[in-house]
A and B are shown apart, each in its own frame.
Chain A
């Protein structure tokens, strides 16, 4: 078997042994190679946190930017060059906390990119504080008496916003995760893949075992084309449904809606404003025209 072109030799990976990030990294690489993508056509955009280091551990273009800001960057890259395959990837604190507003608006814009969230219900790199998806009562050094806020339900939120592709995976199921990722990356439009993932260091509640016991793959009878059913499913918390909850194809994408690639497919770096047109535009203001 030929080596995976997305594989990168990394002698020093900054993740804890047994971290759920490892199977996610493998699933991402398998999905990319499974789709026959060229590493030169893929851009990974991430924020800050342990999950956000993933782009350093595979072989693609990458933009490892600011905490919470992967989605605006990825959206703009798609808008500047629709020939590139875009993945915005980070943790739950990054994507749903710091970057929560961008999540809402990325869904509305529907850029053709895949948002992958490593959802371990806790902050890792800042050492164990609550995340937006932490469950009520979860105790941390800061939420000393337990989390009191309602946990954010990313898949219900995305379906409520009418995201065109919404899925949930479990890092403990590498093949299932890979297949969902393949479907998400192939989807023409915005896709959210929320990946449940244990944090072996800071979350002693939501462990591999806990996730196994509290999740179930959606039955084959589930119709991802039915938004109401998808929304009802997305509200289920025990067991948490895994798989593609909702999918709608044929929706215009952000880059199509820019209205500038229909007549000229060239990416922006290959074009610049027309000087004659600019002259004509300015002369419109001439009283002597």
Chain B
């Protein structure tokens, strides 16, 4: 069984390396052969994340592109979680349902991933631990770990076993282990290295006695030097955008951004504070902007709901504000550790009264970095709240990337030195007043949540009210001038267009690239509000418009219908808490494209 499996893998990889099949009937599914998926499953705290990190590092040292993503339950210990690692000779950037190699660490873990396994999946497990129902290749992970002195290193034995099956250079795995355990006692490092060695030797023996070759071909191009997760991409983007103040209340899946920035606070000279609640966090951010800092808060739907009054305040006092909203399924607590694109509507309408705002939705890690960086400039230039919509899937996924652009002076604030007759709400281009701050210049700077005059003093005069509403709404024209156009991917004359936003981009891109002669394009919006007008022309007159988004009501679809009168022939809506997979989308698209146009 194992021999056959290895041979199949080898043949996959040595063939066309993912070239899309040119011949054959239209719409036939073509297999992508240049990605290999390893799924590690186990209880929370069992160390699957560690195996994932070690293997990711090791495969990258071997010159491959790696994508990793985790799915987990909302608990600290127990349950069943899994980590996916996809190894590619081409860049790999999407979640996949395919499992080529599965390592379940306990019986529950096997059941947890069972629906994703096929007869082609190679299963590697400790049958003694799995007990009844164990199948596939047996490897005594726990017993070998115990020989190192610590049974809990079974996960490291598993990492070694995978590396042995793959016939990887042990030195690379050793380096990956060293990197992973950097800063830990030498004894820990040595025991883990020994555990990995035991797993490696055990599976090397299997490989040799079955006389099968298990090498990936050399990758065609060197992998990108950096590896970032979504949380790191947003956090680094914030630093590149000149973020100098962060206040947040922890909430999955947004906490990674707070953690990362908190650990860099002293190094980068930025203020980071964990607030008592999201209301405080959001108000602190406005206080920071008022004093000339560039403030960020990071949260998820529930916390964002608490911030809505403060977003309205930002609208009224015309303060810049940057909010990172990492979405998860709701309503209320919903599925705390799962993914969704359910909060577009919330972000769009959050806050009472009328005021302009910008909503960004990065499609991948490069965009997560870039748009977070730009969010600070946009917020500052237009004096409006900017909301960056990501999700659990994007936050907890990672892949290798090229080093992104870093501005020479990240995020110099757009503020003016005040004169003694300075008025905070004086006239300015497109309704944007020059923004002074206290402590710089000779003017006084007031802001007020009541309707106010140019000096920010309370007024109920109708003519002032009307002028101020017009001034605030006028800023919408500045927003439109700076709007980011949607990205068209595919033949410009495609008859069918799949429209998506945010993190659906990469699974969709992989899905479409696997279709033979699809005559299909993707239109991805990384700015979901206000909409860049170019999008309307791109989808007008297309025979088929397909909407793909991670919610149950088609929120973005309805936004486009409202703005442009767009009529959707098909909607691919997913709201089970799992990310879109390339395979799932591909199957759905094949089914749609076989239907007559309604």
Contacts and interface: CB of A to CB of B under 8 A. Distances in A.
Contact of A69 (B279, B291, B403): B279
Contacts of A48: 449
Interface stretch (A25-33, A55-63, A183-191, A236-244): A55-63
B299 to A, nearest CB: 15
Interface in B399-450: 403-404, 406-413, 415, 437-440, 442, 444-450
B287 A45 contact: yes
List 9 tightest A-B contacts by C-beta distance, closest first. Answer: A269-B292, A76-B287, A80-B291, A268-B293, A73-B287, A76-B284, A61-B438, A72-B283, A105-B276
Nearest to B438: A61
B288 A273 contact: no
Interface residues on A, range: 35 or more
B570 to A, nearest CB: 40
Given A43-B438, A72-B284, A264 B291 contact: no
Residue from A81, A104, A254 having most chain B Cβ neighbours under 10 A? A81
Interface of A: 14, 39-41, 43, 45, 48, 53, 55-56, 59-66, 69, 71-77, 79-81, 83-84, 101-102, 104-105, 109, 254, 258-260, 263-264, 267-275, 277-279, 281-283, 285-288
Contacts, number: 221
A267 B265 contact: no
Given A73-B287, A76-B283, A102-B276, A64 B447 contact: yes
B226 interface: yes
A101 B281 CA distance: 12
A64 B280 contact: no
A60 B457 CA distance: 12
Interface in B274-314: 275-277, 279-281, 283-288, 290-295, 309-310, 313
B160 interface: no
Given A66-B449, A102-B280, A59 B444 contact: yes
B306 to A, nearest CB: 11
Contacts of B438: 40, 43, 61, 77, 81, 84
Contacts of B310: 66, 69
B174 to A, nearest CB: 13
Contact of B242 (A43, A64, A72, A273): A273
Given A77-B288, A79-B271, A83-B439, A272 B242 contact: yes
Nearest to B442: A40
A282 B267 contact: no
Contacts of B285: 76
6 contacts: A63-B447, A80-B292, A260-B269, A268-B293, A282-B228, A287-B57
A105 B458 CA distance: 30
A218 to B, nearest CB: 31
A197 B247 CA distance: 34
A83 B284 CA distance: 17
Given A69-B279, A283-B403, A260 B227 contact: no
Nearest to B452: A64
B406 A275 contact: yes
Contact of A64 (B236, B247, B286, B450): B450
Nearest to A276: B406
Given A76-B245, A77-B290, A101-B276, A287 B61 contact: yes
Nearest to A284: B226
Nearest to A64: B448
A66 B283 contact: yes
B441 to A, nearest CB: 8
Interface string B239-282: 11011110100000000000000001111111111011101110
B226 A286 contact: yes
A287 B225 contact: yes
Residue from A60, A61, A271 having most chain B Cβ neighbours under 10 A? A61
B287 A40 contact: no
B60 interface: yes
Contacts of A283: 225-226, 403
B335 interface: no
Contacts of A81: 291-293, 438-439
Contacts of B272: 258
A55 B228 CA distance: 47
A245 B290 CA distance: 33
B443 to A, nearest CB: 8
Given A62-B446, A64-B449, A76-B247, A282 B439 contact: no
Residue from A14, A63, A288 having most chain B Cβ neighbours under 10 A? A63
Contact of A56 (B228, B442, B457): B457
A285 B227 contact: yes
Given A76-B291, A286-B226, A278 B410 contact: yes
B456 interface: yes
A285 B226 contact: yes
Nearest to A68: B279
Given A40-B444, A282-B226, A269 B280 contact: no
A101 to B, nearest CB: 6
A273 B410 contact: yes
B461 to A, nearest CB: 11
B451 to A, nearest CB: 12
Nearest to A45: B287
Contacts of A65: 283, 286, 313, 317, 447, 449
A62 B456 contact: yes
Nearest to B264: A281
Contacts of B439: 40-41, 81, 83-84, 267, 269
Nearest to B420: A40
Contact of A260 (B236, B265, B275, B283): B265
Contacts of A270: 292
B288 A56 contact: no
Contacts of B449: 48, 64-66
Contacts of A71: 280
Nearest to B443: A40
Contacts of A263: 269
B268 A105 contact: no
Residue from B284, B437, B442, B448 having most chain A Cβ neighbours under 10 A? B284
Contact of B287 (A77, A83, A273): A77
